[in-house]
A and B are shown apart, each in its own frame.
Chain A
Amino acid sequence: MIKHLLSINQLSRDDVTRILDTAESFREVGTRVIKKVPALRGRTVVNLFYENSTRTRISFELAAKRLSADVINFSTSGSSVSKGESLKDTALTLQAMGADAIVIRHSSSGAPYTLSRWVPASILNAGDGTHEHPTQALLDLFTIREHFPVFDGLRMAIVGDVRHSRVARSLSLAMTKMGGHVTLVGPPTLIPPEAAQWGVTVSHDLDGVLPGLDVCYMLRVQRERQRQQFFPSVREYSRLFGLDGRRVGALPGRAVVMHPGPMNRGVEIASDVADLPRAVITDQVTNGIAVRMSLLYLMLGGDGRQAGSESSIEPVQEALPVPLPDAESDQESATAVMPRA
């Protein structure tokens, strides 16, 4: 398995399938009374968040805790960072404290790459600038798979501010890698023409695209973009690219509606649409924990091999998920003392 998760591009199709399959076995943990397995006991996961993102941070925190890892949340406000500490010094400090994995959210594209050159810990990209958000894409695939067992030939539209969306990048790459067809929909100012080179289709006509879709994925539109004149008004944006009740009616019956949150109800998605049964937005949130557990497990504890390992992800059936109370068994201890890279 990969040592770092920086971009969807690093993953093979088989890697993605393994991550989703592993997440499947972890999802059950979340339904137990005691939602915990000892897979990463003794390992330290740091959540290093340079941008506020309560939902992503909590999701990673829960994922790590359900694997029995020690979790440190390092947010930048009120910390050494607000006193001017550089990313490098922060990283070295966390490393000196024994971080095995650093989950980083940063407003600068590429910050996780930079970090991975400075510290030996595994780096998980939890969203970097306008670049990528690979764990979001993986949890989206997981959610899609609950409704459509095969990705090949699936038709998805990603609607909105593709230019500035890290979710759109990761999801386009992931979906096309798995054999799906992606159409990017939005005003030309928010869809860079070069995106066509990702193997996707570009359209500026949402109504023309809707009838053929299996998945309609709405992106959050920031009002800031209107102030920058990427579109003339929120009203016009909503009229052309918002998913309202009429447009949902144009979707095939099987199609699901997704959104990475947080939503602007009434802008890119109508409130009643967001609450329809076919809108699987809260499932995405739930599945995020299982997918992040899967990644942490595979990257940190899966088979003890990390960087440079030729093997892909090992099957994990025997090692997990094991109920916690009897946590001293040999098998679990073996998992807990995996050597560090």
Chain B
Amino acid sequence: MPERTLFRAVRLVDPAGDHDGVTDVLVEDGMIAEVGVGLARDNAEALDCDGLVMAPGLVDLHVHLREPGYEHKETVETGSRAAAAGGFTAVCPMPNTDPVTDNVAIVAEVRALADKAALCDVFPAGAITRGLEGESLTDIGEMAEAGVRLFTDDGRSVGSARMMRLALEYASAFDVVISQHAQDEELTQGWQMHEGTYSVLLGLAGYPAEAEEIIVQRDLALAGLTGGRLHVTHVSSAGSADLIARAKDRGVRVTADVTPHHLALLDEALVGYDTNLKVNPPLRTKEHRDALRSALGGGTIDAIATDHAPHAIEDKEQEFDQAPPGSTGLETALAVVLTDLVAPGSLSLSDAIRLLSTQPAGILRADEHGGPVAPGLPANLVVFDPGAEWVVGQSPRHSMAANSAFTGRTLQGRVVHTLLRGRFTVREGEPTR
């Protein structure tokens, strides 16, 4: 294995370095050694990258790796492999494990599993409340000292306005972010899909967009009140995007992410009761989807995050109302963004990388990730073929799960190499370990 790899004639898209153009990139001893046209080095393995794109490794603010507790759905190792296969070099797994990641011991356990897998940097999120029960704050300070940068009760909303206020206030001492899964539980009792024409037609209990917007509105007010850092994860409604845009205008410290499936799919796809399309928050109408797409371009939404939610086959092969919500996402995110947003021209490739890497790395304060791709910095990189087509299969690839909302779809954009600190985690499309 040569210590030097020369990527020849690759289109480097690096928003942090304000670079978009064809160049050579030399990686040496885990670091970017040189970027420039016509590089030549002895003892370097040269890879011809004509037609390929290089970008800083992707960063996912929202994944479920299921370990500890749900190893029949996914493990840190298989999830890390799926992440690498999808071009990610850093992910933030949610704390709704069993036991809940609400203390430093579980954080350390998840980290140790990630270190052993060595396929992707893993930044475990900590719970806001003990056991995700919404009643008492976790030891946020201790977890922050241990390196946790994002806290969330994801899977559930922090329902109490008082608890949310305290979390935002308390966490502001540690420069960590409080991420909210915004869902009014009472308005969404028994929910199965977006409330609208199709929920009525299909006889499925509705989850109105307003159930999200009410919590977003409340949390934005609380972030304004406390000066705390709020992140709204998986924004799904036009109204939420509008509220966030206006809060940003008045200087509230808020960031937000949206999933590839909310950017690509609509509630009407549920007419066949396909449980892979049951996600939380639910797929909504074209009006909502188009508003989310606009919010990406306008700077309202800061990141695209997958909400990778693997489930076992028997979990999803059930009656619709008994199947748990969630879609996998790590292995399809880049291709969905390229196919549905970049190829039709609604998002530039540079903005796509900004949303998939640079900005989420900033929110997570993952300094080694997100670029710039410049000499002396760690070589966390993805190289992909933007035109290569592939079909999302019904069988698992690298994740243990195959519950993709995109099953059966032809996507364009295939990851060729992923490098974590200069080491190939994916090479020629295949994970190296």
Which residues 69-120 of B have a CB within 8 angstroms of A?
none
Asked whether A130 lies within 8 Å of B273 as measured between CB atoms, the reply is: no
Do residues B200 and A192 form an inter-chain contact, with CB atoms below 8 A?
yes
> Are A131 and B202 closer than 8 Å at their CB atoms?
yes
List, in ascending order, chain A residues with CB within 8 A of B197's CB: 194, 197
Evaluate contact between A86 and B318: CB separation under 8 angstroms.
yes
Q: B201 to A169, Cβ gap below 8 A? A: yes
Task: Indicate if B410 sits at the interface (CB-CB under 8 A).
Answer: no
B318 touches A129 (CB 8 A): no
Given contacts A86-B314, A113-B273, A194-B196, contact A106 B202 (CB under 8 A): no
Q: Among the listed B203, B317, B318, which residue makes an inter-chain contact with A109, where contact means beta carbons less than 8 Å apart?
A: B203
For the complex, is B322 an interface residue (Cβ under 8 Å from A)? Answer: yes
Does B321 lie within 8 Å of A86, measured CB to CB? no
Could you say which of A87, A114, A166, A192 contacts B273, with CB atoms under 8 Å apart? A114
A11 beta carbon closer than 8 Å to chain B: no
Give per-residue flags for A248-291: 1 if the beta carbon is below 8 A from chain B beta carbons, else 0. Answer: 00000000000000000000000000000000000000000000
Which of A87, A109, A131, A195 is the most central at the interface, judged by chain B CB atoms within 10 Å of its CB? A109
Instruction: Say if the beta carbon of A212 comes within 8 Å of chain B.
Output: no
Q: Is B298 on the interface with A (CB-CB < 8 A)?
A: no
Complex Cα distance, B99 from A127, in Å, reads 40
Residues of A within 8 A of B345 (CB): none
- Are A195 and B318 closer than 8 Å at their CB atoms? no
Q: How far is the CA of A132 from the CA of B271 in the complex (A)?
A: 13
* Chain A residues with CB under 8 A of B319: 87, 106, 108, 110-111, 114
Shortest B187–chain A CB gap in Å is: 13
Interfacial residues of chain B within 315-361, with CB under 8 A of chain A in the complex: 317-322
Given contacts A169-B201, A195-B200, contact A88 B320 (CB under 8 A): no
Q: Does A128 contact B (CB under 8 A)?
A: yes
Chain B residue nearest to A169 (CB atoms) is: B203
Does B272 belong to the interface (CB within 8 Å)?
A: yes
Q: Which residue of B lies closest to A197 (CB)?
A: B197
Distance in angstroms between the alpha carbons of A163 and B199 in the assembled complex: 10
Judged by a CB distance under 8 angstroms, whether B204 is at the interface is yes
Chain B residues closer than 8 Å to A130, beta-carbon distance: 203-205
- Report yes or no: B202 in contact with A109, Cβ–Cβ below 8 A: yes
Q: Is the CB of A194 within 8 A of B321?
A: no
- CB-based contact A194/B200 at 8 Å: yes
Residues of A within 8 A of B196 (CB): 194
- Asked if B200 and A108 make an inter-chain contact with CB atoms under 8 angstroms apart, the answer reads no
| Cross-interface CB contact of A166 among B203, B272, B321, B322, cutoff 8 Å | B203
- Asked whether, in the complex, the Cβ of B320 is within 8 Å of the Cβ of A110, the reply is yes
Question: Provided the pairs A110-B204, A131-B202, A131-B203 are in contact, do residues A87 and B272 lie with their beta carbons within 8 angstroms?
Answer: no
Query: Does more than half of chain B's interface fall in helix, strand or loop, or is it mixed?
Result: helix
Rounded to whole angstroms, the CA-CA distance of A160 and B273 in the bound complex is 26
Cβ B203 vs Cβ A113 within 8 A: no
The 8 A CB mask of A80-119 against B (1 = contact, 0 = none) is 0000001110000000000000000010111101100000
A60 to B24, CA, bound (A): 73
Inter-subunit contact B317/A86 (CB<8 Å)? yes
- Which residues of chain B come closer than 8 Å to A113, judged between CB atoms? 272-273
Q: A158: shortest Cβ distance to chain B, in Å?
A: 14
**0 or 1 for each of B194-231: is its CB under 8 Å from A? (1 = yes):** 00110111111100000000000000000000000000
What is the bound-complex CA distance between A114 and B316, given in angstroms?
11
**Which residue from chain B places its CB closest to the CB of A131 in the assembled complex?**
B203
| Chain B residues within 8 Å of A108, by CB | 319-322
**With A and B bound together, what is the CA distance between A222 and B197 in angstroms?**
24
- Interface positions of B from 167 to 209, Cβ below 8 Å from A: 192, 196-197, 199-205
Identify which of residues 288-333 in chain B touch chain A, using a CB-to-CB cut-off of 8 Å.
314, 317-322
List chain A residues, Cβ under 8 A from B317: 86, 88
Chain A residues whose C-beta falls within 8 Å of the C-beta of B205 in the assembled complex: 130
* B189 to A, closest residue via Cβ: A228
- Nearest CB to that of A117 among chain B residues? B272
How far is it, in angstroms, between the C-alpha of A274 and the C-alpha of B257 when the chains are bound?
57
Chain A residues numbered 203-233 whose CB sits less than 8 Å from any CB in chain B: none
Bound Cα distance from A87 to B192, whole angstroms: 19
Name the CB-closest residue of A to B204. A109
Output the nearest chain B residue to A193 by Cβ-Cβ distance: B200
Contacting residues, chain A, for B322 (C-beta < 8 A): 108
Cβ of A110: which chain B residues have Cβ within 8 Å of it? 202-204, 273, 319-320
Q: Complex: how many Å from CA A166 to CA B203?
A: 8
Residue ID in chain A nearest B205 by CB atoms: A130
A163 to chain B: closest residue by CB: B200
Complex Cα–Cα for A131 and B205 (A): 10
Q: Which residues of B contact A106 (CB under 8 A)?
A: 319
Contact A132 B203 (CB under 8 A): yes
Q: Which residue of A lies closest to B203 (CB)?
A: A131
Chain B nearest CB: distance from A201 CB in Å?
15
* Docked CA distance A114–B320 (Å): 8
Docked-complex contact A128 and B203, CB < 8 angstroms: yes
Closest to B319 in A: A108
* A129, B272: Cβ atoms closer than 8 Å: no
Complex contact A109–B200 (CB within 8 A): no
CB–CB A109/B314 < 8 A: no
* Chain A residues with CB under 8 A of B192: 109
Cα A130 to Cα B193 with chains together (Å): 14
Q: How far is the CA of A128 from the CA of B273 in the complex (A)?
A: 12
B202 neighbours in A (Cβ, 8 Å): 109-110, 131
Interface residues of B (CB under 8 A from A): 192, 196-197, 199-205, 272-273, 275, 314, 317-322
Q: Give 10 new A-B contacts, CB below 8 A, not counting A86-B318, A88-B317.
A: A87-B318, A88-B318, A110-B202, A110-B319, A113-B272, A128-B203, A129-B204, A131-B202, A192-B200, A194-B200
Leading 6 A-B pairs by shortest Cβ distance: A131-B203, A110-B273, A108-B319, A130-B203, A109-B203, A194-B200
| CB pairs A–B below 8 angstroms (12 shown) | A109-B202, A113-B272, A113-B273, A114-B273, A114-B319, A128-B203, A130-B203, A130-B205, A131-B202, A192-B200, A195-B200, A197-B200
